[in-house]
Amino acid sequence: MAEEYKTYAASEMLTPEGREDLTVGEIEALGTFLAINIIGGPWATLDEWGSGSAMDESNPALENYRNSRLWNPRRHDTTIRGRPKGQYTNIFGETKVSSGSMAGLDLEYLSNIGELPFDIRVQPPSHAMQTTARWMQVTRVKQIWLEALQTFPWGRFFIATRD
Phi-psi region of 88 (alpha: psi -120 to 50; beta: other; left: phi over 0): beta
- The pLDDT, as a whole number, for residue 102 is 96
Bridge partners (DSSP) listed for residue 103:
82
Handedness of CA 61, 112, 119, 107 (dihedral sign): negative
Distance, CA of 97 to CA of 108 (rounded, Å) = 19
Positions in the chain whose pLDDT score sits under 50: none
Q: Which pLDDT score is estimated for 134? A: 87
Domain layout of the chain by residue ranges:
1-50+123-149
pLDDT, tens digit (0-9, with 9 covering 90-100), for 18-50? 999 999 988 887 777 777 788 999 999 999 999
pTM of the full structure = 0.81
